[in-house]
Structure 1
Amino acid sequence: MSRAVTLALVDAAGTPLGALPPFDLPSPWWQEVAPIVAEARRRYGVEVTVLRLLTGDAPQPMGGAVTYLGQVDEPPSTPLLPARVDLSADPLRAPYAEPGGPARSLTWATGELRRLDRPARTVTQQRTWNLSAIWRLDGPGGTAWLKQVPAFFRHEAAVLRWLGRAAPEGTPTLLAEDGDGRMLIDHVPGEDRYGAPVEERLAMAADYHPVQVRSVADVAELVAAGVPDLRADALPGWMRARLAGYDTAPVEPLLAGLAARLDEVRGCGLPDTIVHGDLHPGNVRADAGRHVVIDWGDAFVGHPAFDVLRLVEGLPDAAVAPVLAEWGARWRAEAPGCDPERAVALLRPVASLRLAAVYAMILDGIEASERVYHATDVDTYLERALAQAATVSGIPAR
């Protein structure tokens, strides 16, 4: 699957210039813009910064015909095509999606690296979309990453600060942050483990467990630092608020019984912890047997079972069982008398309902043209929650 890319250009003041002739890219993922920058340079000799998605015609955010807005400091020598694009303001537009926004962020990041005696020699734009803008900065002192996130993910910096004190060996190092969504993060070697086999997920779960155990004593500190509080008392109201305006009629019985269900979960005896919130293998980097959990923007304080349920998502039942069994054994050792298996069974539909609420929050917090990235996600997870809630036989009796 490939992308057919149209790149509409503006100058630093946001004045429309026209569009480069379209070109195809083998890389299908819309948010990955490094290939766009490289191909525009190769084909047309132009240095472009991609600001944001304008349109995409595929049912999922990959492949098809895609139009982006890019900024250039100087008009290219290649004749530009006429381009009719909507450049009207949007109150939810990310700062890094505006002309001049990336330059301001890079000025901050390169300044911080100079302060740390790690000057950057090259900068490479990697990704930009409604959840983050990411740049790679390389220099003689190594590689660092500039990550800028929207308001609903700004607690990631607080989580990384805590992790740097509590679990520095298995988490990214925060080098600097500006309190306004910009973070400078040290490079983590290895590769993202999308599609990792069950044997590796067992190792990921084992490596991650001490982080959650360590966080038990610090949940109040984390909440005070701005990490969302989605413990049992807060979660039902948070879900209701995020899903207001969406068609939740099919899952209304689940929502109505959520407080009672969470009381049962509380009775299973596991403590509240830090929760990564999106612990699929693609958010784990592996290098020489070491696993580092990255991308903490979805983190919250709540029940630890949410993370193991995300980690086993997509595995066949036979592969899920050993991951949950080992996870349960570790928690029984930490909290004698607890019932991890029942907690997992009770929370399975709640985990899907929470993800529906997360995507609703994202959709309500991003500009209109970028909502295509998540257009089907709320309904997908509401349907999954409904199906899981109907499988009551999966909940062991107490």
Structure 2
Amino acid sequence: MTTIAGERAPDWSSEQWQVRARSWVDTRLSQAGRRVTGLVEPRVRPWSLVWRVPTDDGPVWFKANNPGTVHEAALIATLAELTPERVLTPIAVDPEQGWSLLPDGGESLRDVLARDPDLAHWERALPGYAALQLTTAPRADELVALGVPDHRPEVLAGLLAELLDDRGSLLIGAEGGLSPDLHERLRAELPSYAERCRRLADIGIPATVQHDDLHDGNVFAGPDGYRYFDWGDASVAHPFGTLLVTVRSIRHAKKLAADDTGLARLRDAYLEAWTDRYDRRTLVEAADLAIGLGPVSRSLSWRRALDTVDESRAEYADAVPGWLEELFVASPLQSDS
């Protein structure tokens, strides 16, 4: 399954589309022995439509992705097959249409942290995510064939070069966009960026699924353990790129300095899963490289998310150039090794 760049997203507001989607939801719920008991509650963003659907066995969640994130449906089905203890098992998916129907996941890690803001919760959540990545790594090529974007270090510099040619997405010279000077500075940075990609690839840690938006709002924290959801930004990439968003979100929530020892402890809790294969110094080096390269992946994921004619995309358009500017910002995590 592949995504066609620029493909027009369905009109989620049209009665025809909503009738078709609702029929699909009703049929799949009936097959699962459930029935709808009330009105759906919609939430629409440029990259997806989500319905909260009340049923006689608790709420379920229907999601329709835009063409740029349509791979999410196939990805969550594959993850549920490979590592069912780490994700929600979908009630149904339609990979071609980018539709998924999921049970309710319960309380999020954000809910837990609101009551008890102890970083120990993250220390317990990150190893399970690392285990998911290790389990998925042998299927990386299969995920790419399913349409999950390829952001492996071997191709990332080429993707940056292509992105720099996309003047419309970068809003060069426009409000909220890249300045012409910064655009040229980024072009000049390409050889250095490519060299850092080569260094990361040469370390040899296998690529795998990389969530690319792993913050506390995208982790369920229930009695059965931590489960990771909302995979629309995901790619096949170096696993440690995850730390960019995760560490930034924790720093922001806790107002921590980059050299806070608690952040290093979280990094090490995550990296522990690879210590049977690599020494810790090598892992920290790889983490530093992956974090530094990560803004390009984030910029690319935002460009896909905004691959729609939805007028509301303008609200988020500065995210594509904004993440590229992060290439010149200090790492959100300074290693202590």
Which TM-score band applies after superposition, normalised by the shorter structure?
A: 0.7 to 0.9
For 1:236, what is the secondary structure of its paired residue? Answer: helix
The answer to whether the 8 Å contact 1:265/1:343 transfers is yes
Per-residue CA deviation, residues 243-289 of structure 1 (Å, 9 max, x unaligned), is 42124323223333222211101222322111112111111121247
Name the structure 2 match of 1:388. 330
Which sections of structure 1, spanning at least 5 residues, go unmatched? 1-89
Partner of 2:11: 95
- Asked if 1 retains the 8 angstrom alpha-carbon contact of 2:131 and 2:273, the reply is no
Unaligned runs of 5+ in 2: 1-5, 173-182
- CA separation of 1:334/1:122 partners in 2, compared to 1, >3 Å: closer, same or farther? farther
Structure 2 vs 1, CA of residues 135 and 321 (structure 1 numbering), >3 Å: closer, same or farther? same
Q: RMSD of the TM alignment (CA)?
A: 2.7
How much does 1:336 deviate? 5.2
- In the alignment, is the contact (CA less than 8 A) between 2:140 and 2:208 conserved in 1? yes
Cα distance, 1:337 vs. partner? 7.7
Name the structure where strand makes up a greater proportion of residues. Answer: 1
- What's the secondary structure of 2:22's corresponding residue? helix
- SS state at 2:212 partner: coil
Within 5 Å, which residues of 2 pair with 1:300-311? 300-311=235-246
Partner Cα distance (1:382, 1:223) in 2: 24
Alignment match, 1:372: 314
Spell out the pairing of 1:1-398 with structure 2 (5 A cutoff): 92-178=8-94, 179-193=96-110, 197-243=118-164, 244-245=166-167, 246=170, 247=172, 248-288=183-223, 290-314=225-249, 315=251, 316=256, 317=258, 318=260, 319-335=262-278, 339-363=282-306, 365-367=307-309, 369-388=311-330
Relative distance call for 1:309 and 1:334 in structure 2 (3 A) is farther
Shift in Å, 1:103: 2.8
**SS of residue paired to 1:278:** coil
Q: Secondary structure at the residue paired with 1:127?
A: strand
User: Which gives a bigger RCO, structure 1 or 2 (Cα 8 Å, sep 6+)?
Assistant: 2
Cα separation, partners in 2 of 1:237 and 1:197, compared to 1, 3 Å: farther
- Which protein is richer in helix relative to its size? 2
> % of aligned pairs identical?
24
SS at match of 1:333: coil
CA displacement at 1:93 relative to structure 2? 4.7
Q: 1:154 to 1:130 in 2, by over 3 A?
A: same
Amino acid at match of 2:138: A
Determine helix, strand or coil for the equivalent of 2:36. coil
How many residue pairs align between the two structures?
305
| Structure 1 contact 242–361 (Cα < 8 Å) conserved | no
State the Cα distance separating 1:94 from its structure 2 match: 3.5
Compute the displacement of 1:171 (Å).
0.3
Task: Verify the 8 A CA contact 1:242 1:360 in the aligned structure 2.
Answer: no
Calculate the TM-score normalised by the size of structure 2.
0.81
